Structure 1
Amino acid sequence: MALTDKYKELVDLARLNNLSVSESGDVLRVEGVVSSASVKDKLWEIYKRIDPLFKSNDLVLNIKTAVSDGGKVRVVTQESRLNIRKGPGTDQPIVGKAEKGEIITLISKTNDQWWLVRDVDGEEGYCYSQYLEPVQ
């Protein structure tokens, strides 16, 4: 089975949003910029439904949102830096870190536990929401 068949629903949504979809070897790559965080979140929801534990290692989602500036949030960890992850879950790779007290951009509240953020270096990913607080 081709990966484009396995991930048909995800590929269809990606193409609808003008994302690049390519299959090379045993990996399907979906890349580009989407108009809203809800589209990015939907892609991750579909991926999680197809591969609930993200164990197949046959899909790369490299998606950014077109949001340039949303609300600001402060990192409120006790002592350590906050991990910024590729997807919403602790099983996702770490793509960046935010320092305690750092103010970063909130793109969307994906759910009660995971918020999509962009750090000061422009890295975009998901953080555990209990370690973020809105900046007034």
Structure 2
Amino acid sequence: MTGIADDPFVAAVKPLVDAMGGEILPPELADEDDVVLSWEGADVVAVRLPQLADSLDRILAALERKRGKPLAELDRKAKQDIVRTLEARGAFTVRHGVETVASALGVSRFTVYNYINYVNEQRAKAQADEGQSRQDG
């Protein structure tokens, strides 16, 4: 991969591909499920996207690194923030997503569902408040 690694376009997209947990390949090695990126009419690089379940594990690991300690050691408010972030990223659409998150947070599935409900209630309240302030303004 010496040739494509030196390409400035590849260098530009590499942080994004790494953050997604993808893999960079030469375009001629792309499978039908890979995404081939072109620049100025030429195929430059192929990106192999991770499986959704692997993405959830990667997101959880990144959140743990960002917080500086295991997610299970966070307080309730911080865990609710984690659930808010994960829901915004679609984590609970992944099969066994709730179970995976519950395990990472050191809580029950029931607690994760309660956090999801809390997040949705807060979002609905914020939207209602925003709508009211628009009417008042």
The answer to whether TM tops 0.5 is: no
> Higher relative CO (CA 8 A, sep ≥ 6), structure 1 or 2?
1
Q: What TM-score, normalized by structure 2, do the two folds share? A: 0.26
The structure with the largest alpha-carbon Rg is 2
Whichever structure has more helix as a proportion of its residues is: 2
Q: What TM-score, normalized by structure 1, do the two folds share? A: 0.26
Whichever structure has more strand as a proportion of its residues is: 1
